Amino acid sequence: MVKQIILDTETTGLDVKTGHRIIEIGCVELSNRKFTGKEFQSYLNPDRSVDEGAEKVHGLNNEFLGDKPRFIEIVEDFLSFIDGSELLIHNAEFDIGFLNQELQLIRGGEVSIFDYVDSVTDTLQLARQKHPGQRNSLDALVQRYNITGYDRGYHGALLDSKILGDVYLAITGGQSNIKFETEMDNVNEVNDNKNFKNLKDGERPKLITLSNKQEELHAAYLTNMKRDSKVDNY
């Protein structure tokens, strides 16, 4: 199973094209829909000033960042942590743009974060598919799914990665029940063998997703089931 890494960054400003830089990277690992406890976090010296508006969001200023490492000093540890993973990022285009810029500044050419990971999943797009026409910012999703236990005074890359992990599990069906983990391991192993035995070497299985219509039909089915059975725990 491909490991999942939830990633977030904080930056000096919003526009990578005008030379803004990353000042914090935060990552947490998921395996089998559980937090493993493995994390990567680093503040970075951007060698430029932090916009006032950005500082109000994350609370990081030039004085604090002045003695922090530069991206080139942490890049190998960072790439090792995310190597071969599925990255889960909220509004992935933003973070990927900044990460690619940092890589290109030290390695040149057309190097990309995609050279080091298996895939990137944009959780903002997942949220939009599940909640069309609604606000799907991380803050909005935290309220919608009643994610609690975090201090939201300031945004931070590691903090937001942990929060996004809870949001992702909620969007995609909730966290696995640890009580049944051992019993399900054997079932999952059988299913995995059945799903992959017909694949050629190096071939990836296709990811099947429900259409909006299919999701509507499924929701209607559950509603009717609750009505007929008078049970409200689906």
Domain-located, residue 163: yes
Q: How many domains does the chain have?
A: 1
Q: Which domain holds residue 191?
A: 4-205
Please tell me the distance from the alpha carbon of residue 234 to that of residue 220, in angstroms, as a whole number.
Answer: 12
Residue 27 dihedral angles phi and psi, to the nearest 5°? -140, 145
Domain-located, residue 223: no
SS3 per residue for the chain: CCCEEEEEEEECCCCHHHCCCEEEEEEEEEECCEEEEEEEEEECCCCCCCCHHHHHHHCCCHHHHCCCCCHHHHHHHHHHHHCCCEEEECCHHHHHHHHHHHHHHHHCCCCCHHHCCCEEEEHHHHHHHHCCCCCCCHHHHHHHCCCCCCCCCCCCHHHHHHHHHHHHHHHCCCCCCHHHHHHHHHHHHHHHHHHHCCCCCCCCCCCCCCCHHHHHHHHHHHHHHHHHHCCCCC
Domain-located, residue 214: no
pLDDT at 186: 38
Domain-located, residue 213: no
pLDDT at 205: 43
The end-to-end CA distance of the chain, in Å, is: 28
Looking at residue 23, which CATH number applies to its domain?
3.30.420.10
Domain-located, residue 219: no
Active site residues: 155
Domain-located, residue 80: yes
pLDDT at 174: 56
Domain-located, residue 211: no
Q: What is the pLDDT along the chain (234 residues), one digit of tens a residue?
A: 789 999 999 999 999 999 999 999 999 999 999 999 999 999 999 999 999 999 999 999 999 999 999 999 999 999 999 999 999 999 999 999 999 999 999 998 889 999 999 999 999 999 999 999 999 999 999 999 999 988 777 789 999 999 999 999 999 995 433 333 333 333 343 344 434 334 444 444 444 444 454 455 445 444 444 444 333 433
Domain-located, residue 232: no
pLDDT at 216: 52
